[in-house]
């Protein structure tokens, strides 16, 4: 039996919330530490994951590496802020069309497809966002930046864990929305599918061939895997 492992990013890939996300993240530092983040060009950080960027911001601003409690506090404020903003205006956060149906399809065909999540976000906010778009994803298949600095580590772990369960994959695919995601897949020597929800053509302009705007209809996605 041919089994495929499909691993998804969250932000920009399963849901879209960039503007509100940044705003809430920045606000969490303001609320928790009365701190204005000077460098909000996330791509300029060595690893673009929430956990790494948070550690780096606190280290740069205070001169001390943060303890677990401090990071937990920022996560809590960030999650709280997200909830406040989304309660105020739920149009600011959208599921990428077809997402729910796609996961239903994979669950119903779990002998052929295994799925996982590798997100640069925090576990708490990732769970909240998935819940918000109506996806009930098994927590043990969600890898977040809480425990890993890079997506490479998360994906390797997901592959390893599944392999140790004696599943041999004939294909592993990472689905993401940024050039960084493409680079991660390339480095791991796995396939990549780009999601260009806003249709700005950026991924295609980088020479990436497998790019779609959303998962509706699902056949469009299935044709690429």
> Which residues contact Mg ion (rule: CB under 5 A)?
9, 11-12, 177
DSSP structural state of residue 178 = S
| Residue whose CB is less far from Mg ion, 33 or 144 | 144
Beta bridge partners of 211: 194
| Least distance in angstroms from the C-beta of 176 to Mg ion | 6
| Residue whose CB is less far from Mg ion, 12 or 98 | 12
| Residue whose CB is less far from Mg ion, 3 or 92 | 92
- Contact yes or no for 224/207 (Cβ under 8 A): no
Q: Tell me the C-alpha distance between 212 and 215, whole Å.
A: 8
- Contact yes or no for 14/137 (Cβ under 8 A): no
| Least distance in angstroms from the C-beta of 12 to Mg ion | 4
Query: Can you read off the two tokens belonging to residue 221?
Result: 């996605």
| Residue whose CB is less far from Mg ion, 31 or 124 | 124
| Least distance in angstroms from the C-beta of 10 to Mg ion | 7
Query: Can you read off the two tokens belonging to residue 79?
Result: 């999650």
| Least distance in angstroms from the C-beta of 50 to Mg ion | 11
| Residue whose CB is less far from Mg ion, 33 or 47 | 47
The residue number whose beta carbon is nearest to Mg ion equals 12
| Least distance in angstroms from the C-beta of 105 to Mg ion | 22
Q: Tell me the C-alpha distance between 116 and 7, whole Å.
A: 5
- Contact yes or no for 14/116 (Cβ under 8 A): no
Compute the CA torsion angle 195, 204, 151, 70 (nearest 10 deg). Answer: -70
């Amino acid at each position: 039996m041919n089994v495929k492992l499909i691993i998804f990013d969250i932000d920009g890939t399963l849901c879209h919330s960039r503007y509100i996300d940044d705003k809430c993240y920045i606000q969490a530092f303001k609320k928790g530490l009365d701190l204005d983040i000077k460098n909000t060009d996330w791509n300029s950080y060595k690893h673009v994951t929430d956990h790494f960027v948070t550690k780096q911001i606190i280290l740069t601003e205070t001169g001390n590496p943060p303890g677990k409690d401090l990071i937990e506090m920022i996560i809590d404020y960030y999650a709280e802020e997200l909830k406040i903003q989304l309660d105020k205006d739920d149009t600011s956060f959208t599921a990428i069309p077809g997402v729910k149906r796609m996961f239903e399809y994979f669950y119903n065909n779990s002998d052929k497809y295994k799925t996982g999540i590798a997100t640069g976000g925090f576990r708490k906010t990732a769970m909240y966002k998935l819940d918000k778009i109506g996806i009930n994803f098994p927590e043990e298949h969600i890898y977040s930046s809480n425990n890993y600095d890079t997506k490479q580590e998360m994906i390797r772990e997901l592959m390893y864990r599944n392999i140790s369960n004696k599943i041999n994959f004939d294909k592993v695919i990472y689905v993401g929305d940024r050039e960084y995601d493409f680079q991660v897949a390339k480095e791991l020597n796995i396939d990549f599918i780009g999601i260009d929800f806003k249709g700005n053509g950026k991924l295609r302009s980088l020479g990436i061939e497998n790019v779609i705007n959303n998962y509706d209809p699902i056949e469009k996605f299935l044709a690429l895997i």
